[in-house]
Structure 1
Amino acid sequence: MIKDAINLLIQGKALTEKEASDAAEAIMSGEATPTQIAGFLVALRLKGESVQEILGMTKVMREKSLKVNIVGEVIDIVGTGGDGLNTFNISTASAFVTAAAGIKVAKHGNRAASGRMGAADILESKGTKLELSPGAVARCIDEIGIGFMFAPTFHPAMRFAGPPRRELGIRTIFNFLGPLTNPAGAQYQVLGVAQPKDASYDVAEALANVLADLGTKSTWIVRGDDGLDELTTTGFSQVWEVKQGNVRHFRIDPTELGLQLADLSQLQIETTEDGVEKFDVALSSSDSPERDIVLLNSAAALFTSGKVESLKSGVELSRNVVNSGEAMNKVAELAEFTQRLDKDG
C-alpha cells in the first residue's frame, strides 16, 4: 500500500525495490489518490531517492510504457533537464548528427518543463508531427534512421501522476524515470544528468548504478562542471560509463579534442526564437560555440554506440556530417516523413 510507503519515507527509511515497485504500481494503475501521489513524491524527495527505489519504479514504468518494436539496436541522447541554465536544445541537435552519421536514434522526450525549449518544442517548430503511434515511430527509425517518441503518448500510465506533479511544481523522481524508460529499449545512451542543489547524493552516480543493474550495453551518464546536463565546452565534464554491469568514472577536457572553450552565455537562450536560431547555427558549416558543443555530444553518442574508436574521431566524423549538410537535411527528412505518416493515418 502506498500509505505504508509514505509512512516509511517520512521516518527517513529507504524503501526496498519491491516496496518502491508496489508504490509505482499504485500510482500508475490509478489506485493511489492525487493527495497520496503528492505525499509520496514529496516524502521521497525529502529523504533522497535511493538506487533501489529508482530501480523499482523504473521497472514498473518500463512495463507500462507503449513499446516501439524495431530491427537492430538504437541509441538515445537525452537529459533529465532541470539544470536551470536555459541552453538551446543540444541533445536534439546531437541526435540528428548521430543519425546522419549512420547510427539509428530513438529519441525520447517531452516539451520543456523548466527550460525554454524541450525536444518536442524544437522538433515541432521544424515541422515534425509529435503524436505518432509506436508503429509509425518504428517506421521513422527503420526507414530514415531517427524517430521521436513523445513521452505523453508513450507513457499513458503517467496520466495519474501528471496533475499532482504539475501542482507541486518541484523536481520529483519522475524527472529521472523518463530518461530511463526509452520505449524502444535503447541499449545505448548518452544521458545528461543535472545535479539538483538540494540532493544529498550524486544523482549521476546513482543513475549509473541503476542502469548497471538494468543491463544497459553501453551508456555514458554525463554532467558538465558548469552544471549542464550535457557534455560541456565551457570546461571539464564528468562521465560515468556503464558497460557490462560495471561503472567507470572519468572526466573530459574539450580542448584535448580540438574544441574551443565557450562561455556559457553563448549557449543560452532567452526565447523560443533564440532556441531555433541557435539550433540552426549548431547544424551549420560555420565554426561556432553552438556547433562545438553539439559535435562533442554527438561524438559521445558515436563512441558509445561503437561507430568510432575514439572521442576525437567522433568529433571529426560529426564535423564532416554537419559541414556536408547531412545533419540539417535529416531534420527536414524527419519532418517530411512524419507529415506523410500523419496524413496517411
Structure 2
Amino acid sequence: MKEILYKLFDYHYLSREEAKEVLFSIVKGDVPDTQIASLITSFLMRNISVDEILGFRDALLDMRVGVDLSDYGALDIVGTGGDGKNTFNISTAACFVVAGAGYNVVKHGNYGATSISGASNVIEQQGVKFTTDSEKLRESLDNCHIAYLHAPLFSPALKAVAPVRKSLGVRTFFNVLGPLVNPVQPEFQMLGVYNLGMSRLYGYIYQEEKKKFCIVHSMDGYDEISLTSQFKVITNKGEQLYIPEELGYRRVAQEELYGGNTLEEASQIFRNVLHATATDAQMNAVLINAAFGIQTIEQEKPIDECLGIARDSLYGKKALKALEKFIEING
C-alpha cells in the first residue's frame, strides 16, 4: 500500500488491475484507516482515470452480494452526491414517481456522506428494513414496481470505508463509484453529476457497456435537475441544453430545495412531496427528474409526454400508493 501511495503522490496513475487490488486489500482489512484516508485524499488532488474507476468498480462487483433482477428491465435514478448543496431527497422521491407510473425501479443507495440525508436515511425514516432477500425484493417489484438496495449490505467494500468517508466529510471517488455498482446492473440508468468532466467519464463507461443512460447536470453545480439554472442532458443519442422556462417551469432559488438540518426534516419534505402537499419548487424538481427517468426507458417519447406521465403519477396519488405499498412490504 505504501508503494501505491507513493505512486499516487508522484501523480502517476494506477492500472485497472492495481486499482482492483487496492480495493480488495481495503476490504480484507489490510489497510489502516490513515492510509485509506491518504488514498482518498490523493484522488481529491487530481482527476480519477477511467482505468482507475473501472478497477475499483470491478473489485466492488466481484465482491458484491449477488441478486438477479434482470428480468424486470429496471431503472436506477441516482446522483453522485458531493455537490455540497444539501438538497432534499429529489432522486429518491423521483424513483417513487416513476414506480407509481408503472415502470420498474431498482434504487441503489446509501446513508448520506456529504449531506444530512442520503437515500438510505430517508427510506429508513419511513420504517423500512433493508434486505438482501431476493424473494422480498421481487415481491416489492411485483406489487409496487420498486425495490431498494442498501449499498453496504450488497457491497462490503463500501461498508469498510464508511467511517473514513463520514469523518472526512468531503466528496470522494466513492461518490463516483456508487452509480456504477448497483448489484443488479440495471438496464436503464439515470445519473446526476456535479460537474461536466464527470459526465464525460460516465458517458464513456456507459457507452462501452451499451447501457441505455441519461446523465444530467445543472450548470450551477447540482448533481440533479434542480431548475435553479440551465441543465445539460446527455444520453445515448447525444446531448442537449435545456432552459427551465422553455419546459414551462420558473427558476427556483437554492434555498427552496434545502433538505433541512435533521433527518426528520428531510423525511417530512420527502413525505410532503409524495402526498403532493410540498411547495411547487420541491414538487417540480421531483417531477422533472422523474420525467427524464421515464424518458430514459421510453426513449422515443418527447419530454413533454414524459412530464405528463410523471404529473399523473404524483398528483393522481399513484406515487404515494407505491410508497405505501413499499413500506407495507418492506417494513
In the superposition, the TM-score normalised over structure 2's length comes to: 0.91
Pair 1:263 & 2:262 matched: no
Per the TM alignment, residue 7 of structure 1 is displaced from its structure 2 partner at its CA by 2.1
Pair 1:282 & 2:273 matched: yes
Partners of 2:319 and 2:12 in 1: how far apart? 49
CA deviations on 1:87-131 (whole Å, 9 max, x unpaired) are 111001100010111110001111222222211222222222224
Does the CA contact (< 8 Å) of 1:80 and 1:176 recur in 2? yes
Matches within 5 A, 1:28-177: 28-70=27-69, 71-177=71-177
Does the CA contact (< 8 Å) of 2:114 and 2:169 recur in 1? no
Partner of residue 248, structure 1 = 238
Matched to 1:305, the amino acid is I
2:202 to 199, 207, 227: 207
Partner of residue 329, structure 2 = 337
CA deviations on 1:135-171 (whole Å, 9 max, x unpaired) are 4223322342101111111112334323433343332
Partner of residue 198, structure 1 = none
1:239 to 230, 233, 236: 233
Partners of 1:204 and 1:303 in 2: how far apart? 18
Does the CA contact (< 8 Å) of 1:75 and 1:106 recur in 2? yes
Matched to 2:117, the amino acid is M
Partner of residue 179, structure 1 = 179
Per the TM alignment, residue 216 of structure 1 is displaced from its structure 2 partner at its CA by 4.5
Does the CA contact (< 8 Å) of 1:257 and 1:315 recur in 2? no
Partner of residue 8, structure 2 = 9
How many residue pairs are counted as aligned between the two chains?
328
Pair 1:322 & 2:314 matched: yes
Partner of residue 213, structure 2 = 219
Question: In the superposition, relative to structure 1, how do residues 189 and 163 fare at CA in structure 2: closer, same or farther (>3 Å)?
Answer: same
SS state at 2:76 partner: strand
Question: In the superposition, relative to structure 1, how do residues 185 and 223 fare at CA in structure 2: closer, same or farther (>3 Å)?
Answer: same
Gaps of at least 5 residues in structure 2 are none
Does the CA contact (< 8 Å) of 2:218 and 2:231 recur in 1? yes
In the superposition, the TM-score normalised over structure 1's length comes to: 0.88
Partners of 1:163 and 1:122 in 2: how far apart? 19
Per the TM alignment, residue 270 of structure 1 is displaced from its structure 2 partner at its CA by 2.5
SS state at 1:189 partner: strand
Does the CA contact (< 8 Å) of 2:216 and 2:225 recur in 1? yes
SS state at 1:37 partner: helix
Partner of residue 343, structure 1 = none
CA deviations on 1:311-338 (whole Å, 9 max, x unpaired) are 1111111001111111111111100011
SS state at 2:43 partner: helix
2:285 to 293, 296, 303: 293
Partners of 1:157 and 1:265 in 2: how far apart? 35
Partners of 1:235 and 1:183 in 2: how far apart? 33
Partners of 1:167 and 1:284 in 2: how far apart? 35
Identity %: 31
Matched to 1:209, the amino acid is Y
In terms of mean alpha carbon deviation, does 312-321 or 269-278 score higher? 269-278
CA-based RMSD of the aligned residues comes to 2.2
Partner of residue 342, structure 1 = none
